[in-house]
Structures are given as C-alpha cells and as structure tokens.
Structure 1
C-alpha cells in the first residue's frame, strides 16, 4: 500500500475526513489536536456544543465523537498509516476522549478499514421514504459482524419487539415536543436557510425531509412545533427495518466504542447501497431506554436505533472548517 507523507497537509486531510461523522443535531462536538513530534492526534469533547436537556450525561456527545474517531482511523489507514488508539487516556481530564498514535511499530494495520474510505463523504442521513425491499440476511449478518469489531452488538428488531420500539419512539417524540427546554434546544440547532445566513453546523431545513402522511417509519421531525412553508408530504414504509446498537457496559468508554461501531456500520451500509437514519428519541429518556433492551437476552445498553433500507441517501449537511476544529502542535 502506498503511504502518504505525514505532513500538515495530510493531517488536515485526515481531520477533514473525520468530521464527516454524524452527531446529535449535527452539533459537531469535537476538537482535534495533532502533535508532530509524537505523531499523535488527541480528540477532545467540545462541551460548549453539549445538549444539557436532551443529553445531560453527554452519552450522545461521546457517540458522535466516537464516530469521528472511527473516521480518523479509516482515513489514516487509507493513507497507509497504522493507528494505535487509546480511549480516555487521561483520567484527570474526562473531556480528553482519545489519543490516536500513527505508525506505532507494534500496531498491526486493520485491513478492513481502508475499504470503508469511499463511503466517508457519501454517507448522509436520509429522512426520506425507503422502499419495502428487505435487506438480505447476509448483509444484516455482515453489518452485525462489523459492529462486533468495535465491541458493540447490532441486532435487527423483529415483531413484536419492533412494534414496542415504534410505540416508544412515537411517545418519546411527543415528550420531546412538550418539553420546553428540549424544544428550545432543538430549535437552536435547526436553521431556516431562506431567512438565516449560511451556517456550518446544525440541521438545515432542506435536510428535514418530507412530513409523514402514512407509514410506520420512525423519524424525528426537526420542524418541532413550527412549520416549514411548502414542505411536502410523503408515504413512508409500513414495515421499517430497525436495528438496535448496544454495548454490554454503559460507561464513557462504552459510549466511544458504540460511536465507532455505529459509524463503521453506517459506512459499510453505504457501500452496500443502504440509506440510513436515526431514531434516538427513546434513548434520550432513561425510563424508555430501559424498555429498548432485547426482550430475549435482557442484557446490554441500547445507544441507538437505526433505520436502514433502500432509498435516497439524503442531502449533505454543513460542516465546520478544519481550521475551526484542529490545532497542530510541534
């Protein structure tokens, strides 16, 4: 494999790939620093972009940063560089989430990572209708194996548990809309592109997707209590294909592993021609999150409900510039 020279230009390219990751409300709650001498990236949480109402424990923030961490590993591997990752390297600095050293002579290259690179800039959340076409069992199994590589479990929901989860999502969406703090927080991260200047974070109205006329597909309506002029209605799938992503533990390190597993699944799903969106509403309410657990095994902590299927990939949402999220040190 050709190895690109690890100069500042490549460092910036790697971070530009990393920030293509999804995050709650596209808040992009991360900051990277790179030390030239040790060839080490440090990923830190940008707590000014935390959401105290919807995410008081910062679990979702960790998921988004974990997804960006996976992207960094993919980009570095694609450039021919091995990575050695340490989660939460400083117990006295909880906002310091990970350290990634490049070209550790004792580290082996993960041969499965470079092949995910083409999906980094093609993966977009889709809030449009999917078809009723079923995802083949072999692809489902491959996605589950991909999550397991990062220490997480991906389980496709079957009835009647799927119906229970759909009900929980519907109730949680209603709870969110009735909660003044959460509603205001969501409005902070959504944008009317016709009335506001261009922004580099949050969810623009063109990414809200159509309003649901029929169907059972779970979708967060980013319009909230408001309305979007001329927003279309659409018929969504009646039998949405949902998968739960979980880990055995529920610590910040587990959240980071779940975020890496999530992004790894999303990238592979994109390469397989699958579109995706998230249903995080019940995960944001502790009493509802408990019921999301697998009724057969009864173990694990659910971090995300994924909606997967065949349909449009969704529009690209804005990203902050590399200069805003990267510091390079000697």
Structure 2
C-alpha cells in the first residue's frame, strides 16, 4: 500500500491548481505554495513581488486573496476525501508565511459542506456585466450569511440608506482614483489590452473581462479601461439598484484578513451554486478615509473587508491564471 505521505504529494499539484482559481485584487495572484515531497504539509506564502503598493499598501487585499485560495484548497481536498487542517500565520518571524496545511486522509470524516462547493470553484466568475432588477430572495441571503459564519466572519445585507451610502462611497473612490496618477498607473500595470510592454497574459485583467461601459453611474463595477484604450467597447444600462452585501470582521489584523478571504470565497462559491452572478467592490476600501465610512455604525461588524455585488445575470468570462509550475515549489 502506498504510504499516506506519498499519496498526499501526488495530489498536491491538483489541489494547488484549484486553489489558484480564487479571485485577487487586479488578478495579481499574490500567492506561492511550497511542499516537501513525501510529507503531508503544504505551505502558503504571500508573494512580495506581486504586491500593490498604491491600492493595497498594508497588504490587506493580498491576505484576502490568499485566504480565498486557501478556501479553494480546502474545498479541493474535501472533494478528494482529505481534510486540510489549517494553521494561520504559523511563523511569527515570517509575515509572508500565511498558512500551513496538514493533509489528513479522512474518507469517512470529510466535511461534506466543503466538498459540495467544489463544482463552483471553476464556475465562479467576476462579472462586470449588467444584472437584472430581479431581487434575491431572503432564503438565499440567509444561506450566504450562513456560509460567511462558517468561516468566522459576518455578511451584512445593508438597508436602503446604508446601501445608498456605500454607493456614494464607490463614486467618491472613483473620483479619488481619477485624480491619482499613481493609482491609475498601478491599475494600467495590471490590465491587458495588447499594448506593447504589458506583463504576461497569465495574470492581470484582460480587456475582454472589462465589461461594457455604463450608461449612468448606478452600478459599482470598476472600469479597468483607465486610458480608454478599448474604443470598441459597447455601452450598457446596468441595474438601477445594485444588490450589495458587506463582509466584516470584529478585528482588523492579518489573521482576520485571511479569515475574511476564506469567508469571501465561501460566499462566492455558494452564490455561484445558487445561480447568483457576483463581483467584488474594493474601490472604497482602498482609501482609508472612505473605508471607515462603509460600516453601518449600528452593526456589530467592526471592520468592512469586502463589498459584494450580487444579482441575476451573466457570470462573466474566465480570467487567466498562472500555471501550477509557477506558483508551486516541490522540494
């Protein structure tokens, strides 16, 4: 019989392949994995070469993206009959060492709720397309909120005044962004429109995923076409009242950001299974002066980590991912 450690090594590449289907800010894919052959341990690191110094100076979004990849890895392991026992921030002397995962074979004790999410890992998309005005039923909101709670975070569905306030913050962030040469330059660095000198096609946001231009300013979808280098983009009318939700944590430390990333991805996967199209709204959270205002002061949620846009509509196209050989080191 093949030892457990060798079986673990055999499945590691496939686990990482599904892990990296996670979303990340500007699709920077800021993760690295290491595995020692013949062991059951897989380590997740943040990649200091893939940071966003302007939009994410404290690496909060980097931790959230890596947390989302960690959730996908746990889902992939559960689907294969393994349990991914996770330790966050295992090395206090290395802040880039974000998690250790010990793979335990557990065919009879697999977390079926995690395993059931696996079909959504590949189907999940970020949609910058218009959604319909059909309202999401309360039972779906309850299911999404329960998914967040399973990861120790909270999903808040804002009331009318709070939703309007968040939309105002999105528009405020757009004005700040348009006035910041550094922010616009960073976004351009991570878009792919066929310009000379762009980065690899396996990362960043490709022009086919920009979505249409908006008639009006009702939707909080970010426009990545900063230099308007895609003149052929069509325009479209977006939903009049976007359906949003906020993901929050009680504290605001790196460990909370990793938990938020796992909760974010669990919510996105559950929404995908429920037939809900999704996108992420990070714009107002990239400006400290706006982020604090995103929170409902009456809420028990201390810090907003992500804002979601949900609705019924097209899922959006798949965006590229780097191959496993670039993100996984096996020694």
Q: Common fold, TM-score beyond 0.5?
A: yes
CA distance, structure 1, for counterparts of residue 7 and residue 140 of structure 2: 35
CA distance, structure 1, for counterparts of residue 229 and residue 199 of structure 2: 19
CA distance, structure 2, for counterparts of residue 150 and residue 64 of structure 1: 15
Corresponding position of 2:233: 231
Distance apart, 1:158 and its partner CA = 1.4
2:192–2:199 contact (8 Å) kept in structure 1 = no
Q: 1:300 and 2:302 equivalent?
A: yes
1:243–1:306 contact (8 Å) kept in structure 2 = yes
1:245–1:262 contact (8 Å) kept in structure 2 = yes
Q: Tell me the matched-pair count.
A: 325
CA distance, structure 1, for counterparts of residue 299 and residue 199 of structure 2: 49
Aligned with 1:161: secondary structure?
helix
Distance apart, 1:299 and its partner CA = 3.9
Q: What TM-score comes out, normalization by structure 2 length?
A: 0.94
Distance apart, 1:193 and its partner CA = 3.7
CA distance, structure 2, for counterparts of residue 47 and residue 136 of structure 1: 41
Alignment of 1:245-256 (within 5 A): 245-256=247-258
CA RMSD of aligned residues (A): 1.8
Choose the corresponding residue for 1:315, options 310, 314, 317.
317
Corresponding position of 2:85: 84
Distance apart, 1:173 and its partner CA = 1.3
Corresponding position of 1:267: 269
CA distance, structure 1, for counterparts of residue 157 and residue 239 of structure 2: 16
Aligned with 1:121: secondary structure?
helix
Q: Per-residue displacement from partner, 1:125-169 (whole Å, max 9, x unpaired)?
A: 000000011111001001001001111100111111111110100
CA distance, structure 2, for counterparts of residue 109 and residue 96 of structure 1: 26
Corresponding position of 2:65: 64
Aligned with 1:302: secondary structure?
strand
1:191–1:202 contact (8 Å) kept in structure 2 = yes
Q: What TM-score comes out, normalization by structure 1 length?
A: 0.94
User: Which has the larger displacement, 294-303 or 313-322?
Assistant: 294-303
Q: 1:46 and 2:47 equivalent?
A: yes
CA distance, structure 2, for counterparts of residue 58 and residue 73 of structure 1: 23
Stretches of structure 1 that go unaligned for 5 or more consecutive residues are none
Q: Per-residue displacement from partner, 1:25-72 (whole Å, max 9, x unpaired)?
A: 000000001123430110000011000111000000000000000000
User: Which has the larger displacement, 118-127 or 195-204?
Assistant: 195-204
Stretches of structure 2 that go unaligned for 5 or more consecutive residues are none
Corresponding position of 1:30: 31
CA distance, structure 1, for counterparts of residue 144 and residue 287 of structure 2: 27
1:215–1:238 contact (8 Å) kept in structure 2 = no
1:157–1:244 contact (8 Å) kept in structure 2 = yes
Aligned with 1:226: secondary structure?
coil
1:26–1:203 contact (8 Å) kept in structure 2 = yes
Alignment of 1:1-330 (within 5 A): 6=7, 8-103=9-104, 109-193=110-194, 199-214=201-216, 216-297=218-299, 299-329=301-331
2:294–2:304 contact (8 Å) kept in structure 1 = yes
User: Which has the larger displacement, 226-235 or 238-247?
Assistant: 226-235
User: Which has the larger displacement, 119-128 or 297-306?
Assistant: 297-306
CA distance, structure 2, for counterparts of residue 133 and residue 215 of structure 1: 19
Q: Per-residue displacement from partner, 1:83-138 (whole Å, max 9, x unpaired)?
A: 11000000001100000100078x95322100000001110100000001111100
Q: Per-residue displacement from partner, 1:210-257 (whole Å, max 9, x unpaired)?
A: 000136111111012433121000000001100000000100000000
